[in-house]
Every structure is written in structure tokens, then in C-alpha cells.
Structure 1
Amino acid sequence: MKKSNYDAIIILLSIFFNAHLSHAQSPNPEALSYENPSAVGMDSLFIHSKVDSIMNFAIKEEAFPGAQVLAAKNSKIIFHKAYGFHTYDSVQAVSLTDIYDLASVTKIMGPLPALMKLHDEGKLDLDAPFSTLWPKWNNRKDKKELTIREVFAHQAGLVPYIIFLQEVMKKNGSVKNRFVRHEPSRRFSTKAYDNIYIKDRFKNKIYRKINRSKVSDIKKYKYSGLTFLLYPEIISRLTGTDYETYVTQNFYAPIGATTMGFNPKTKNYQNKIVPTEIDTLFRHELTKDWVHDENAALMGGVSGNAGLFASATDLAKMMQMYMNYGSYGGKRYLSEATVKEFTKVQYPENENRRGLIFDKPDLNNHELTLADSYPAPSASPDSFGHSGFTGTFVWADPQTQLVYIFLSNRVYPSREHANIYKFNIRSAVQQVFYDSLID
């Protein structure tokens, strides 16, 4: 697309979407709106030619069938473009309003804002034992002394992951009738997928296995998603409100993130939902409208590790709020001190790059080549975000005031498709926006 044509589209988007993007009654400099790259000191022609080139290459190499890229600078969306199709049959083109399965991006969009708010309210002491949040760990010798800070920073030595699907599957590939039914009933009301219902008490089995999981004696960076299966229950207990209701009422609804939520099949969204993997093991069809992650599915689609769906613009609102250190559109959601603490590297002396739940750049990222960096080499040490297994990525950089959203379904048709990693596509696109900054 020629630059002049794109600029014309940006003007139209500004007219139609600016009012929609801001939930405030009057224009607010914190709320996102559309603008041309040149208005915020970025080279528009460079951005379009470079991003188009990378994305077209990625689709040709089957890194994903389609994707979309959004970038905002100084609270202005200066680039938002869709590429390719939902699947390789090229039937449904990707749209700017499409909703994606966020996978692990859920971690910073679901439980994280709630946990930060609880910290603001004095209900969560980062240096207290995690057992103050999850009392069952008081009875576990290897867990009772683990602090919340250690757990949040992936410094606690917890097991990375437990595949709970193995608990409901027989060796011959069929499901265990005592855990899975194809019709709902009083004891089987937890819906994992169309015509798949999980025993309601299976959640307790998940909790028990997490409680009994091993802990490493060595304290070093070791990514673990286990406690994210506990956070919905913890948040519900501490707030007296259902987890999904709590994050929706306190964050998604007031910030205007109208497509952000769990189990989108039940939400009657007008937006198209991009499918993920052709599941030959559990669902036996193309996974669409329901969460891809099996652990989140066994939790009924509402979890802290995965399960959240959203559009690019709604993700941008949340990331802009974080980049503003807790405020958006004239409303404060979190204290500045809390957001700064959570987005800070916690254990650099231990070669751990992580913040509190937030991911951070590699500690020597600026010294690395694009092929080896995470994320883009020019991302500042103050920047933060998270990636998702399905091919999603969100990042914010307070130093340059850049928000970057990348959404794809790289797991289609199979999770074995790994060219998005081989070619470091998400970081390569992100680097373009840094390189486009005009001194």
C-alpha cells in the first residue's frame, strides 16, 4: 500500500475511532487516538515498507497464516495493519477488529492488574510468604517460606508446568468418564469446549497436584506457570468477587476494553475470533472460539495462565495504562509506585531479567543482535510486556513512549510451526518502530 493511501486511511480511522477509543467524556491526552507517524517524529514510509516486507516474508515462510501489528507512540496509534488470513486456505482475511487467543499474555492482562490493585490496598505484601495468599502451602515444608516476590519473579524454583490433560486422558487417547462428560450435569458444569464438560471438583485435583509439586533447592530464574492456575481463586477470596467479574468491573469495562474477556463463544461478540490449532488429541477439530491452552480449558476457560481473548486496540489500552504507570484517560487504576515496582527487574544479581509477573528485556539485550535479542535490541531496560504461546506479544517502553502489539495464530495448523521463533519475527517488527524514530 502506498504511503499516501495509508495516510488517508489513518485520517478516516481518526474520525471514526477516536471517540470510541477514549472512554472519557472529553478528549484526554492519556487516551489513545489515531495519528500519522510523522506527527510524532517517526518515518512513515520506512515503517510501512519494512513492516510489510517482514510480515509478507513471515507469511510466505508459514510462520503464521495471518497477523496484525499495532504500534502507538505518545498515546497515538500510528500503525495498525492486518496481514494474511485466518487459515492457509485464504478464505477469511484478517481484520483489524479480530479477536485473538492471547495465551500467556493473559498473565499480565488477567490476574496481574487485580494483584497490583490488591497490593495498593495493602492486602498483598510482596515480601510475605506466598502461603498468606494460599494457606495450603503452610503445610508444605518446601513451600511455606517462599515469598510472593520470589513466586511473582519466577525466582522460587517451582516446577515450570504440569500437563493436567494427562489426568483426564486414557493411554488409548479416549477421555476418562469420571472426569469428562459430553453433556452437562449437576456435577459436570465446567465447560471446556463445545460438548466437553469437566467434573467441577477436578479443579481441586489441580490444586492438590500444584501443592504437592517439587521445588528446586537452587534459587535461580526458572519460569513457572503453576501459580497462575491459583490466582483466580486467590483473587476471588481476597476481593469477595468472582475473578472474571472483578477484572472486568475494575479494569476492562472502565478502560473501554470491550472485547477483552474469557470464553468469547459465550459473549456474542460481533468481532471474528481467529482460530488456533487443529487439535487431534482432545477436541478433535480446529480449536476456535474456546481457549487453546489445555490447562485453562480444564479450568473452564477462566484462568490466570491463559484463556483471555482480546482485540489489538483493547490490548493497547491496557498497555498504555501500564506505560502511564497506572492511569489512562484521566482515571487512575493503579498507583504509580506499585506499577513501577512490578515493572522493575527484581533479581538482576541472579541473572533473572523478570519483573513481578511482567517480562523484561534480556539483561544485556542492547548488546545482542536482532537474531539473539529479546525483545528488540533497542527496547530500553525500563520496558516490559509478555509473549504468548499462540503467537501473541505485547510490550511497552516508557523511555520512548512506544506501545507495541503483535497478534498471530502461529499454532495453526499445529503448534509445531515454529518459524515465528526461528526468524524472530515479533522482535524484528518491533525494531522497525525504534529505527523509524527521527532524531
Structure 2
Amino acid sequence: MKKSTSAPIIILLNIFFNVHLLASQVGNSEVLDYANPSAVGMDSLYIHSKVDSIMAFAIAEEAFPGAQVLVAKNNKIIFHKAYGFHTYDSVQAVGLTDIYDLASVTKIMGPLPALMKLHDEGKLDLDAPFSTIWPKWEKRKDKKSLTIREVFAHQAGLVPYIIFLQEVMKKNGSLKRRFVRDQPSRRFSTRAYQNIYIKDRFKNKIYRHINRSKVSDVKKYKYSGLTFLLYPEIISRLTNTDYETYLTQNFYAPLGATTLGFNPKTKNYPNNLVPTEIDTLFRHELTKDWVHDENAALLGGVSGNAGLFASATDLAKMMQMYMNYGSYNGKRYLSEATVREFTKVQYPENGNRRGLIFDKPDLNNHELTLADSYPAPSASPDSFGHSGFTGTFVWADPQTQLVYIFLSNRVYPSRTHSNIYKYNIRSAVQQVFYDAIID
């Protein structure tokens, strides 16, 4: 490993700039505060030179116009740095408090903590049929025996995705007035965008399509986002509380994760929001302040598959809570047993790397090169996290006590921009922090 060096001035500036975000929590060993990488046995100069180099390359190759990276080790944020701009016109620089569209990172920040809490309370049996929490499946021959565990681990054979935007659009690209209006009304109060309102009963059409979707006869790993569209309804029914209200009251507010939420346009945050795609199909402009994912948009921006927005520091608090196996700042949010069960590989004998909703490293990850690994090759088998379509990524590794947050808008100006995958940027940056640990 590399030899220890003193921190560059930039990290001291970053510490000074951000310390107010966590100042009230300093002093508790479980709570994130700021430190020099050398204080936790890491090589600061190596980290900055390598990460700066990778990020400069990524921006030059248009993997994304800008991004930010936050890393915590041993409950200390030892790196938090912004790179590039919101768009390629280089007008708005990326800021450390910027809020990003999390895309599928929503899955482990939204429905997952609620479902784990329900499991803790005995309201969700992992080996019971999924129909016990979604009764419509009781009458579906191909779905009635699917267990919650199989569904959560993407082992149930469900269809990966249904593009519900096709249901509200005509072949010529115009929107169907029976489903979409440009002004709100009594029956059209579900807001998908600035001037796009969806018929409130359209969500029932989404549910029917999911209920009628096909199931593979072969039970093997097949990623599916379908049930994540159901979880807000399921959670609301089981808790007798509005989905977002339940999440805010039980997790976001007590954690101090004040930017975690849906529909940020309605929240009046002082933070800048990073735009996503120039949408030429549905919204016909640069998508900003509203969710990028169309299925989540058709549900009013509040879903289990996408829709959450957050800053890097608030994501780090959630991931630190998970890495502490359910506790943070002296408060227990989830039982240790539940978090350990959900972060464990469920079906390794089937070549399925997944935990319960959490993503996990490839089963032979430590044997792979950086180009082929997922995530970084040095990520331990105990580690877990999730990626997002917009260019987001969060990961926690209990073995090394590393929390890694990567936020970008790689879908700008178009979702066809895929160099973030071609060059494996997120894993390459993550690997730097493993390599910087001094023996």
C-alpha cells in the first residue's frame, strides 16, 4: 500500500465548508463527522491525485458533465469533492450540497427501510407468499406461491420492466387526453411534471398490468423493478400511514437527512438541483426538479423504483446506519438481525449475487479485474449497496468500514451516454479508496 502523506489544502477547505452540516452531531462515535484521511490510516495524496485523474478523464470523455464523490471511513468523512458542471455549457459548477435524482438508489433508500421495519414488527414474513402483502396475487396461478424472499432477491422470474409511458402516448407521440391533462382537476391531480397531470386512477391500470404480467417457469436471477411500483401502496396499507410521511417520520427526519424526499420542486430546498436528461419524448425539455424515470413520474413522482432525491451527505447518513446494522447516533432504527439478513446473499447456489433488495458484489468479484468486476474488486463479500440509472451509486463495506457515495447525471444530455459504464468509472474511483488503506 501507499505511504501516508498530509492532506492537501482542498480537503481542509471541504471540511470547513461542510462541517456545519454535521456540527450538531460531532462527538458521537456512531455519527459522521470529518477527518483527514491519514487519521483513519489512508493515504490522502494518493486518493486526491488518483480520483482527480479518473474524474478529469471521465468528464473529458463525456461520461457525465459533473459529479461528486463522498467517502467515509470509521464514521469519518475523509473525502468529499465536486467535479465539473451541471451541464456541458460549464455555467453551473457542481456544489457539495447539490441534490441529485437517485433513480434506482431509491429502492434501498425508500421502500427498503420501511419493509425491514415491517419485518422487525412481524408484519412481513420473508418466506410467506407475496400475496400476503399484495392480495391480488392470490388469484394469479403463476404468482400465488411466489415468496416475498424470492421477489426481494430477484429470484421470482418476474418481468424486468414495463414501459407504462406507452399507455399514455399515441403512436404519433401525442399524449392521450383520457389519461393526461395540462391542468389539474378533481380526477387529474397526480402531477408528473410542470404542466402534466395524470388521471388519478391510472395507478390502478399500472397495478393491473403488473398483476397480469408473465412469470418465468425457471427460477433464476432476473432483475425486476415491477414490484417496486407496488411497495408504496403496500407500505401505506400495512402502516396506515402515507408512504413518504412514514419514511420521513421513521428514518429521514431522525437521521437528519433533510434533503431525502420525493418531488423536490415542492420542497423549496435552498440547494441546487442537478438536471438529468433533455427529454424529447415526454416532457420535451431539460428535466430538472422532477423525477427522470417515467414510471415514477406517472405515479406522481412518488414510487419505490425511483423518485427520491438527496444530497451526498444525507445518503451517507443512511448508508452509515445500514453499515452500523441498523443504528445511528445512539438510536436503533432496525434490528441487527434484520439488516444482516437483508444484506446477505440469498441464493448463491443459483448464481444470484443479490441480497434482499440490496445489491451485492459479484460472487467471484475478488477474482475479477477492475474492468470486469462489480463493484470494485476489493469490495468485500459483506458489502452492499445499489446503483442508479442516472449515474448514482451508493455502497457500504462493514469489513473496511467504508461508505462510498458517487453522484452524477450521466443521462445528460441523453440516456444514450454510456461511457460511465464503458470505463467503469464508479468502480474505478471506489477501488482507489481500498488501495489507499495503509497496512
TM-score bracket relative to the smaller structure: over 0.9
Q: Is the 8 A contact 2:7 2:37 kept in 1?
A: no
Tell me the CA shift for residue 258 of structure 1. Answer: 0.3
**Contact 2:276/2:411 (CA < 8 Å) preserved in 1?**
yes
RMSD: 1.0
Q: What is the aligned partner in structure 1 of residue 350 from structure 2?
A: 350
Q: Which residue of 2 aligns with 1:326?
A: 326
Q: Matched residues in 1 for 2:21 and 2:191: separation?
A: 35
Structure 1 CA distance for aligned equivalents of residues 401 and 27 of structure 2: 19
1:5 aligns with 2:9: yes
Aligned partner letter, 1:98: D
- Runs of 4+ in structure 1 deviating by more than 3 angstroms, as ranges, are 13-18
The sequence identity of aligned pairs, in percent, is: 87
- Is residue 10–residue 34 contact of structure 1 (8 Å, CA) maintained in 2? no
1:168 corresponds to which residue? 168
Give the alignment of 1:232-243 within 5 angstroms. Answer: 232-243=232-243
Aligned equivalents of 1:27 and 1:318: distance in 2?
Answer: 19
Structure 2 counterpart of 1:117? 117
Q: CA deviation at 1:7?
A: 4.2
Name the amino acid aligned to 1:325: Y
Residue 313 of structure 2 is matched in structure 1 by 313
Q: CA deviation at 1:15?
A: 4.9
Q: Which residue in the other structure is 2:126 paired with? A: 126
- TM-score, structure 2 as length reference: 0.98
Partner residue in 2 for 1:225: 225
Structure 1 residue aligned with 2:3: none
Mapped partners of 2:288, 2:143: distance in 1: 37
Give SS of 1:354's match: coil
1:338 alignment counterpart: 338
How far off is 1:19 after superposition? 1.2
5+ residue gaps, structure 1, are none
Which position in structure 1 is the counterpart of 2:420?
420
Cα deviation for residue 16 of structure 1 reads 3.2
Q: Distance in 1 between matches of 2:140 and 2:433?
A: 48
Give the TM-score, by structure 1 length.
0.98
Shift of 1:6: 2.0
Structure 1 residue 209: Cα displacement: 0.2
Match of 2:56 in 1: 56
8 Å CA contact 1:323–1:396 kept in 2: the answer is yes
Superposition deviation, residue 210 in structure 1: 0.1
- In structure 2, the gaps of 5 or more residues are 1-5
The 1:425/1:224 distance shift into structure 2, 3 A limit, reads: same
- Letter matched to residue 8 of structure 2: S
Q: Distance in 2 between matches of 1:16 and 1:268?
A: 20
Report the residue type matching 2:141 in the other structure. K
1:285-344 per-position Cα deviation (integer Å, ceiling 9, x unaligned): 000000000000000000000000000000000000000000001100000000000000
Aligned residues of 1:64 and 1:408 also touching (Cα < 8 A):
yes
2:257 corresponds to which residue? 257
The amino acid of 1:105's aligned partner reads V
Structure 1: how far apart are the matches of 2:14 and 2:233? 43
Deviation of 1:18 after TM superposition, in Å, equals 3.4
How many residue pairs were aligned? Answer: 434
Give the letter for the 2:263 counterpart: N
How far did residue 28 of structure 1 move? 1.0
1:383 aligns with 2:383: yes
Q: SS in structure 1 opposite 2:197?
A: strand
Residue 31 of structure 1: aligned partner? 31
Tell me what 2:66 maps to: 66
**2: CA distance, partners of 1:407 / 1:11:** 19
